[in-house]
Structure 1
Amino acid sequence: MIHRCMEEFENCPVIAAIKDEEGLKKCIHSEIQIVFVLYGDICSIGDIVSQLKQAGKTVIVHLDLITGLSSREIAVTYLKSVTHADGIISTKPAVIRQAKEEGLFAIMRFFVIDSIAFDSIYRQTESVHPDMIEILPGVMPKVIRRICQNSRVPVIAGGLISDKEDIIAALNAGAVSISTTNQTVWFM
């Protein structure tokens, strides 16, 4: 599973991040292979994942954003057994550890808002060992480059990416992929 997901990320530079039903419908009909689910609740997440899986998508659920699920380890087990998602995104180290134990693809999300964030990224990735990290906002090529040069973990750039220039800048800085809710970018 982990190797297949890594290959898909390397072959798919644009990841669709969906935040509502409209995004779900458009994403299902796109050629994008990897989808980050950023919405839903404990009652709807199974159906959201099922629709995406039926469309042949690799589905990564941002556990912290699913209403009714706590950002605790048991939520990872629930997502795996009930939804059959391929992986999770979280800002919580314990959740990432549990995802790894469950055999799910694990992406740790970091908000880079100041210089202290660099230390946090390096410290947490060394102790938790996520499969990938997602850096937000993703429109900071110099920051992305610095993180990529100092991290052993592949980087996804996400947040505020709005055009082809943003995609190219993030990829040239070393990001493996970009994630975006901007549907125009999905079809570039």
Structure 2
Amino acid sequence: MDQKFYNAVEASPVIAAIKDMDGLEKCCQVEDIKVVFILFGDICSIDGIVQKLHEAGKIAMVHMDLIVGLSSKEIAVEYIKNNTHADGIISTKPALIKRGRELGLYTVLRFFILDSIALRNVEMTDHQYAGARPDFIEILPGVMPKIIKRICKKSRCPVIAGGLITDKEDVMGALNAGAISVSSTNQDVWFL
């Protein structure tokens, strides 16, 4: 794991996740926001979004699965690295995370915990996604302190909690359960 990225996430209990240009503008104005998850854009606009974040001194993490026009193939990771100069990627696909690591990008492997089967898969696949070697795993929704705690105890990878985080209680619940940080598109949460 890259120590610079780990330190930036650890120092930022709340990661700004942006879903539109308004969020981009607002997060660029907040000095305390160090890491930004980009959850919107397309292959024509993503380089400009990353550039704006870099100009504001932010670490730009592109969610590969949400950028319109990108394929789910490993070549899309090379496109992001070479054409946007993003610092890293987020994806639900271990193959993309693995390719990102090979290219020297920061990586976050995202899991949706929808039921007990999904939870068991995350717990049992720790060794499987270890081949991808993500810097962090992100668990969604992030408003399940008991589940986050359970995953944190079993995972060798640091955990970020995301999704449905709306207030200080949600943030504190996730952090107290063992998450290193939370990600949120809720701009009120950015300023807690």
TM-score (norm 2): 0.95
1:17 paired to 2:17: yes
Counterpart for residue 179 of structure 1 = 183
- Distance between the aligned counterparts of 1:120 and 1:101, measured in 2? 25
* 1:35 and 1:58 in contact (8 A); partners too: yes
Aligned residues with identical type, % of pairs: 61
Q: Distance in 2 between matches of 1:126 and 1:43?
A: 33
Whether the aligned pair in 2 keeps the contact of 1:2 and 1:104 (CA below 8 Å) is no
In structure 1, C-alpha distance between the alignment counterparts of 2:21 and 2:54, rounded to whole Å: 15
Per-residue CA deviation, residues 151-172 of structure 1 (Å, 9 max, x unaligned), is 0000000000000111000000
Letter in 2 for 1:136: L
Contact 1:125 1:153 in 2 (8 A): no
How big is each residue's C-alpha offset from its partner over 1:53-98, in whole Å with a ceiling of 9 and x where there is no partner?
A: 0000001000100000012100101101111111100001110110
1:110 is matched by which residue type in structure 2?
Answer: F
CA distance in 2, matches of 1:91, 1:158: 13
Give the match's secondary structure for 1:166.
helix
1:121 is aligned to: 122
Q: Is the 8 A contact 1:20 1:39 kept in 2?
A: yes
1:62 corresponds to: 63
Please list every run of at least 4 consecutive aligned residues from structure 1 whose deviation after the TM superposition is greater than 2 angstroms: 124-128
Determine which of 169, 172, 178 is the counterpart of 2:173: 169
- Structure 1 equivalent of residue 143 of structure 2: 139
State how far apart, in whole Å, the 1-side matches of 2:98 and 2:113 are.
21
Distance 2:87 2:14 in 1: 17
- The Cα RMSD (Å) is 1.1
1:73 matched to which residue of 2?
74
| Counterpart code for 1:155 | V
Q: Is the 8 A contact 2:100 2:107 kept in 1?
A: yes
Give the structure-1-normalised TM-score.
0.97
